[in-house]
């Protein structure tokens, strides 16, 4: 741990400001533990009788932090995970450890925590308290968590750190267990698969509404897992995996193979040239957008006129935003009456019908590839009420959103 440029009083003031800033956006907790040489105190300081603190103290995250203290001379900021992908952020000053958390890594960790509680023999009162504590745990996107880590480090030391300096200590596995089911991996991979399906579906269909999938990726997917403490290498490996999958999805969507493979080679070189994790994150956005736009352009080679093409592109790009006929007409440079008449003549649908259909199709993909509640998806795609959404969904897909989700997932 590098020496701080501040006195303990100044650190306390800066830490209080940091906590206030973070807690203005989420309900995340902060804990403080004393260090006795290389030994972590058993209880938080000040003493806390709080289930969220127990989640840390009786988990792999606590053991991993103690292992890190025993094996590393230089201590720096860490992100710790437990058996069900809850996360904690921690950093050091003097003989203190500041811990921020717990934080949900993804939707799968929420389900796993609930399944653990359900599988145990607890009284009704204990179950009520545990579920109440679980409800208070916030979900923080990985990019925001990394930014918080860097801010916490600067708050405590007065020096800037790079993302590559953030450690992810983990107690080594005791040995291989052939045939054993890694439940943490099972649930984590389920969440990653959902995000992957959304991203690849956006590329394969040439959807301009890919931002929702990218936002979910930041919430759910931690990237390629690695036992090394090299976050930048893991981020590059994640980008290379994304590039390979994106190129295959683009080919399935109709993009010529030679074009997709050429893009693949170029983006792999760019991934290897990334100097930090921020560049990797920006590259991921560019990869998805570029492949999706190229497939969209290839599939859009239809005999539609320029204003109708413009109108379709604007609708497809803004499925989760409120957009009016006047907005479309203004963007295309025509009157609302002329654009409406031209659109129906060329496509056989009204602008409202086309917009409804595309939103229903996009929401159907969201139902299958995420665990978001139906009401939240309904609101995301600008439907006025769940009942109206269900009516339209049944009109286009011949069943309710709930039954569609269950059937497509084989539940």
pLDDT digits (tens, 9 = 90+) for 230-285: 667 777 888 888 898 889 888 888 888 888 888 998 999 998 988 876 677 778 88
Rounded Cα distance between 390 and 375, Å, is 10
Query: CA-based angle 297:301:307, to the nearest 5?
Result: 85
> Is it the case that residue 72 has pLDDT exceeding 60?
yes
Give the closest residue to 376 by CA, choosing from 22, 367, 16, 27: 367
Q: How far is CA 3 from the centre of its chain?
A: 34
Percent of the chain having pLDDT more than 90? 18
- In the predicted model, is pLDDT for residue 349 greater than 90? yes
pLDDT of residue 180: 37
- Per-residue pLDDT of 196-223, as tens digits, reads 677 787 888 787 666 656 655 544 444 4
Q: Which residues contact 173 (CB under 8 A, 6 or more apart)?
A: none
In the predicted structure, residue 178 carries a pLDDT above the cut 50: no
- For residue 355, pLDDT over 90 is answered with yes
Q: How far is it, in rounded angstroms, from Cα 189 to Cα 220?
A: 10
What would the two tokens of residue 218 be? 């930041």
Q: What is the topology classification, in CATH, of domain 306-409?
A: Arc Repressor Mutant, subunit A (1.10.10)
Q: Cα dist. 216→16, 56, 101, 408 in Å?
A: 31, 26, 21, 20
Contacts of 81 (CB under 8 A, 6+ apart): 60, 61, 64, 87, 88, 105, 168, 170
In the predicted model, is pLDDT for residue 390 greater than 90?
yes
Provide the pLDDT for residue 7.
86
> Over 60: is that where the pLDDT of 191 sits?
no
What is the C-alpha R_g of the chain?
25
Q: Return mean pLDDT, the chain.
A: 80
Instruction: Please tell me the predicted confidence (pLDDT) of residue 216.
Output: 53
pLDDT of residue 357: 93
% of the chain beyond a pLDDT of 70: 79
Q: Is the model's pLDDT at 341 over the cut of 90?
A: yes
Mean pLDDT of 44-69: 80
As a whole number, mean pLDDT of residues 162-176 equals: 72
pLDDT at 190: 44
For the segment 109-137, the average pLDDT, to the nearest whole number, is: 72
Poorest-pLDDT segment among 127-141, 146-160, 186-200, 315-329: 186-200
Bridge partner list, 48: none
Contact 292, 206 (CB under 8 A): yes
Q: What's the first-to-final CA gap in the chain, in angstroms?
A: 50
CA-CA distance, 132 to 129, in Å (whole number)?
Answer: 5
β-bridge partners, 31: 99
pLDDT at 393: 94
Compute how many other C-beta atoms are within 10 angstroms of the C-beta atom of residue 297. 12
Averaged over 359-379, what is the pLDDT?
85
pLDDT (mean) for 143-150 = 84
- Considering only residues 256 and 117, tell me which one the structure prediction assigns the higher pLDDT: 256
Output the CA–CA distances (angstroms, integers) from residue 353 to 318, 344, 347, in the order listed. 15, 10, 11
What is the average per-residue pLDDT within 367-375? 81
Where is average pLDDT lowest: 90-94, 141-145, 315-319? 141-145
Residue whose pair of structure tokens reads 């290379």 in the numeric block: 240
Q: Which of the pair, 377 or 112, is modelled with greater confidence?
A: 377
Per-residue confidence (pLDDT) for residue 91, from 0 to 100: 93
Q: Give the alpha-carbon dihedral of 397, 107, 228, 279, to 10 degrees.
A: 60
Decide if pLDDT at 46 tops 70.
no
């Amino acid at each position: 741990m590098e020496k701080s440029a501040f006195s303990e009083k100044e650190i306390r003031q800066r830490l209080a400001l940091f906590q206030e800033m973070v807690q203005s956006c989420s309900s995340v907790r902060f804990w403080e533990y004393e260090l006795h040489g290389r030994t972590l105190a058993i209880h938080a300081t000040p003493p806390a009788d709080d289930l969220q603190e127990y989640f840390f103290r009786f988990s792999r995250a606590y053991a991993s932090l103690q292992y890190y203290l025993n094996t590393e001379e230089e201590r720096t900021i860490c992100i710790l995970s437990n058996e069900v992908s809850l996360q904690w952020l921690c950093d050091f000053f003097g003989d203190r450890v500041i811990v921020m958390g717990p934080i949900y890594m993804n939707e799968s960790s929420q389900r796993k925590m609930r399944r653990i509680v359900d599988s145990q023999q607890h009284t009704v009162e204990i179950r009520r308290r545990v579920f109440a504590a679980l409800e208070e745990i916030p979900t923080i996107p990985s990019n925001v968590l990394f930014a918080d880590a860097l801010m916490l480090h600067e708050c405590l030391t007065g020096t800037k750190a790079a993302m590559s300096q953030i450690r992810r200590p983990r107690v080594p596995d005791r040995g291989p267990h052939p045939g054993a089911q890694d439940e943490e991996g099972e649930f984590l991979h389920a969440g990653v698969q959902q995000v992957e399906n959304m991203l690849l579906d956006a590329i394969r269909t040439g959807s301009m509404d890919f931002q929702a999938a990218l936002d979910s990726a930041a919430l759910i997917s931690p990237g390629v897992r690695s036992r090394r403490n090299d976050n930048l290498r893991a981020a590059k490996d994640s980008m290379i995996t994304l590039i390979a999958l994106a190129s295959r999805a683009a080919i399935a969507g109709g993009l010529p193979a030679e074009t997709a493979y050429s893009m693949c080679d170029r983006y792999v070189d760019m991934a290897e040239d990334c100097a930090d994790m921020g560049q990797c994150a920006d590259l991921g956005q560019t990869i998805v957008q570029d492949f999706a736009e190229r497939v969209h352009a290839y599939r859009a080679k239809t005999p539609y006129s320029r204003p109708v093409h413009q109108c379709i592109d604007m609708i497809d790009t803004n499925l989760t935003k409120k957009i009016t006929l006047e907005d479309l007409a203004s963007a295309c440079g025509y009157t609302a009456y002329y654009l409406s008449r031209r659109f129906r003549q060329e496509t056989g649908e009204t602008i409202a019908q086309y917009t409804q259909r595309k939103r229903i199709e996009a929401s159907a993909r969201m139902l299958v590839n995420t665990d978001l509640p139906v009401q939240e998806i309904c609101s995301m795609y600008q439907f006025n009420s769940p009942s109206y959404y269900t009516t339209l969904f049944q009109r286009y897909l011949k069943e309710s959103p709930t039954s569609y989700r269950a059937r497509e997932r084989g539940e």
